[in-house]
Structure 1
Amino acid sequence: MSNSTASKAGSPNRARSDRPVGALPLPALLALATAVFVTSLTETLPAGVLPAMSADLGVGEAAMGQAVTVYAIGTALTAIPLTAATAGWRRKRLLLTAVAGFAVANTVTALSAHYALTMAARFLAGVAAGVAWALLAGYARRMVPVHLQGRAIAVVMTGIPLALALGVPAGTFLGAAVGWRVTFLVMTALAAVLLAWIVLTVPDFPGLPRGGRVPVRRTLAVPGVTPVLFVTLVLVLAHTILYTYVAAFLDHLGMGGSTGPVLLAFGGASLLSLWFTGLHIDRRLRALTLGGTVLFAVASGTLAAATDSAALVYAAATLWGLGWGGAPTLLQTAVGDAGGEAADTAQTMLVSVWNAAMAGGGVVGGLLLDLLGAAALPWSVLLLLVPVLTVVAAARTHGFPVRRGPSGA
């Protein structure tokens, strides 16, 4: 294969020519969705079993809570260099390696009796997540024709709301019933099943030829990439500030015992949003991004006003889920469209920005909570969403265009 041919085969923007128009390879896409589920649940599971983990390892809950932060840092720091180092690997080999990394990290977490070893395992899980997140959206795009790429990514991204709405509560229940260590071992078993699923159903693609990966600096110069990365940074920061401290905010409203049901309403609405996004993203990416941000803003304003109304809180959680559920799919699709031949690098950069925003959201939200109190959280989110709306509205030619053309997918 010549370098030119290899480059085309390696580009996430090229659809498979042997797949019928309108067909989605669901077994393979669902395997990728399960990989997203494993990635998301591995990240958030410590939050559901935090008291038991901290007691067992002999540290405070605040110190144990850093298990989530260390995971995000591992992803943010290593996604770009590791993806560059493995650019020439066959895609299936790289995906299997990332899933195996989750299996190892969760096994060590389950068996560890030492806080430092547990945190090292969490960092390793974050590294595996960086590789997986940088790979999965592009993998989905390569399986289907251009006009179905947004829908394919939407199928894969169902793993995120499923992990938040079902996985974390189930993991919390299992941890209470049989212990947090068993919960992490179940995650290892799921990763082992996923390895076999990938081997059987997911097609392989070549990596990029030597020198075929576009450098970060050149990618940032591609029109549209920077606006998408900015929107990702600020939108995820806003979401993380609210999501991380939603229990504290509900306690401030006198609804401390309703965190589970409120998050269930959020998760259910997120699934509905993702389904709707999957149906319309290939023709309405810009409108969906604007609409989702507006819904999130309305939800934040409602939470700010919901001083004594449980009904308003549940309504706001539903609006929040409707606004947020499609965001990962929309942003992954937008950055891939904008990146063009630099889509691999652009999507890797989005992974780093996303996880940096998550780590920053935990810090900023904590500072707001200490300095201004829980009532300031929804107002800060509302303030952050103003530049998000401004940039999306302005990026009508590149980034969030009115129409997705053949060059934009």
Structure 2
Amino acid sequence: MSDTAVYGGAIDLERSKEEEDDDDYDDDEEEDTSPEVTAQSSPRPPLSANFEKDRHLLYLEMMYELLPYHYQSQEINRLTLAHFIISGLHFIGARHRVDKDLVANWVLSFQALPSNRVSLKKGEFYGFFGSRSSQFPVDENGDLTHNNSHLASTYCALAILKVIGYDLSTIDSESLLLSMKNLQQDDGSFMPIHTGGETDLRFVYCAAAISDMLGNWSGMDTEMAKNYILNCQSYDGGFGLIPGSESHGGATYCAIASLRLMGFIGDDLLSNDSGSSVIDSSLLLDWCLQRQASDGGFQGRTNKRSDTCYAFWIGAVLKLLGADAFIDKIALRQFLLTCQSKYGGFSKFPGALPDLYHSYYGYTAFSLLEEPGLSPLCPELGLPLLEASGI
């Protein structure tokens, strides 16, 4: 199973790190995270001055019923795509359009379960598989063979269940969290799967979000995770995916959201004594504010194009810092509307076709902007704010 690239709720959960290096890190190429972004030559539709809620509902309902065949290449990330659709429906006030029992049973069918307590000591991770193609049958002893459940898929599974109102206390969280400890490395980072893989801030965030949603932090050493995060803050104030790497909007979100979830930074950080903060919040604020470009959108890195998804990744960081008032919200809204498709959904860049990843983070961005009729956002989890469940 290939690693899914995660900026949190991953979160770019739709593509591998290798794919990310090939496209998002190249200003001259368009991202290819989904089939719908490929028609770059399509004429740009007339711009709307409004958030087209009804069109977004039709778009998500279509995706809920049947994904276009182009999404076959994303089959291994089926739970992730489902998260974007179902959580997206909640954002626009249409959670009732989802068959909750059917969805819950479907999601739970992807959970990897140990045959006995001894299995938990073998180093495998008993989370959730991303799709049927990564879910293998049990052997003659009742054990899973080639168990490749994944931290990103587990985040998405729990996010879906939480959004539809499923009682997460009924899940075998003990096995999940005990085995998740196997993924934490000596430097505090996390692997996404037990057989190896990249170790960076994306999976630290997944582990923190999983622990928070389950209300149980026994599956990770938070002090080690905190130290790893702090080692990822760059000289310019942003955070790279690994220590010493270039500051990136997605990595910065993973760092700040994880620290908030683990309780190492509190609300409205900038209003408190910055000298007592575990991070250089002033330098971080400066880096984040410089990411809003002249077109009103946010870029993920210095000298890159504005991109719909970074309205969430950077915007949510500013919200967590208590600094969202510094965002030019009128300009950001205007940029996002240029990425709104006449078919519903959002594209990465103006004039492109929509895809589920950018659509979801378009909804979260408009929620941050307090668009009327949208559910409020829980910025540290990247999910709709669910008052009944405490997020």
TM-score normalised according to structure 1 size: 0.27
**Structure with the greater relative contact order (CA < 8 A, sep ≥ 6): 1 or 2?**
1
TM-score (normalizing by structure 2)? 0.27
